[in-house]
Amino acid sequence: MIKKIEHLGIAVNSIEESIKTFETLLGTNCYKIEEVASEGVKTAFLQVGESKIELLEATNPDSPIAKFLEKKGRGIHHIAFDTSDIEKEIERLTKEGFELIHKTPKDGADGKIIAFLHPKSTEGILVELCQDK
């Protein structure tokens, strides 16, 4: 079951510059910066109430974030939903006809396992499912 919006992912050119911008905007501090080597991305997280903002910077030119920035520029990259059972959600959404990029969960940032749905089946929005490890 989907419980809430977990975070909004925002593609940026520079984590350091963007952290300053969002810390000032939100009046809160970045609580974590980490690299997810398998995705070629450096991430930074800021808490906003029950949800988060995830800033995403490419660490190599072939990463999904690098390709996104090249095509669309900076901006909202994805919306992530928190789920209590990611495998059941993947099964449910597959039965409902959604196209998944990841048919099995994989390790993500901020202590989560994740799976993405293809934007073709979600009104053009990249959707991420998240569950605490």
pLDDT digits (tens, 9 = 90+) for 110-125: 999 999 999 999 999 9
Residue 3: pLDDT band with limits 50, 70, 90 = very high
User: Rounded to whole angstroms, how far apart are CA atoms 52 and 126?
Assistant: 17
- The H or E element containing residue 16 is helix 15-26
- Total-model pTM: 0.93
pLDDT digits (tens, 9 = 90+) for 53-97: 999 999 999 999 999 999 999 999 999 999 999 999 999 999 999
The string of DSSP letters for 79-123 reads EEEEES-HHHHHHHHHHTTPPBS-SS-EE-STTEEEEEE-GGGTT
119's tokens = 């934007």
